[in-house]
Amino acid sequence: MDLDLRKVRYFIAVADTLHFGRAADDLLIAQPVLSRQIRALEKELGTPLLTRDSHGVALTDAGRQLLSDAGPLLAAAQAARHRVSVAARGSQRLTVGFRAGIAVAPAVQLFAAQHPDVPVDVQRIEGDEQAQMLLDGRIDLGYVRLPVDETGLRIAPLYTESRVAVLPLSHRLAGKEEVTEADLAGELLVWNADLPQPTARRHPNAGYRVRGVDETLEHVAAGRGISFLARSATVFYSHPDVVYVPVPDVAPEQVCLAVAQSRVSPLVDAFFTAAQSAAEVTAECGNYDMWQLGGPDASGRD
């Protein structure tokens, strides 16, 4: 039996609101139509997905399972439509996403040497969108930083890199060559999608959840808290009112290459190979120590 994706979308709307009336309004359809579609989906699957009584609407165990599976399912369908559209235009190309501070050029150059007729577009992505952009086909591959929701993804580790504390220029530790996390205990944390959860738990939340390095630097510069970044990101981003100080005892960041499990392509596999080769060569040369590449010094100032 094939799932009707339209009915699945209707189910998600009800599951998200747990209210048929509000879901129908969101979908711009009549509530009786929505109810019929949900009943039809339940009949097709052979099990109730929702309970309906005087107390309201609730998900059954089967409904919770479908809700968990529905996101990747719809994203894969969207990605397939996108790839078909690109193919219909008679073009073969890859779009590679990357997080702040990650150098994509070495892998692109290796890939281009073997596939000179396949253009490679690059697109900056943020932590809160890296998985979804892979699943819905907006990017074909992504250089991601863990943690990431790995559901529906194929992920290959590339390398790790150390992290630095991001401190306001006036901070009591701003002049140190390095600090420990204990030195920063109790400091308010400007929450960034780059931050692994264990680090975040050691610091009170400053109340600002930011997207991207630029917003992080502005909040830290304003004295609203501290943050942490992968060391490589500090080469590409500086701020006159912010300093970067190495924190050796904070767990390093893991950089991986990711692709949707549904994305099967010889070109994707070829780029995977190029990315892994580029990471191995760069690691052997020690180039992940970005302070040796002529970038900003550890203060974060040019």
Q: Which amino acid is at 296?
A: P
pLDDT of residue 191: 78
> Per the structure block, which two tokens stand in for 285?
């040369």
Q: What pTM was computed for the model?
A: 0.63
Which of 72, 106, 77, 119 shows the shortest CA–CA distance to 280?
Answer: 106
| Integer Cα distance of 110 and 276 in angstroms | 10
pLDDT of residue 297: 42
CA atoms within 13 A on the CB side of 254: 10
| Integer Cα distance of 97 and 145 in angstroms | 11
pLDDT of residue 289: 45
Q: Name the CA radius of gyration of the chain, rounded.
A: 23
| Ordered domains of the chain (ranges, CATH) | 5-81 (1.10.10.10), 93-159+254-292 (3.40.190.10), 161-246 (3.40.190.10)
pLDDT of residue 291: 33
In this predicted model, what pLDDT tens digit does every residue of 24-65 receive, in sequence order? 998 889 998 999 999 989 988 989 999 988 778 999 999 999
Classify the C-alpha dihedral 99-101-105-107 as positive or negative: negative
| Integer Cα distance of 119 and 232 in angstroms | 26
Q: Which amino acid is at 261?
A: Q
In this predicted model, what pLDDT tens digit does every residue of 193-229 receive, in sequence order? 555 544 555 787 788 878 888 999 999 999 999 999 9
What is the rounded average pLDDT of the residues 168-195? 87
Q: Which amino acid is at 141?
A: L
> Per the structure block, which two tokens stand in for 101?
């501070």
DSSP state of 292: G
Report whether pLDDT(132) > 70.
yes
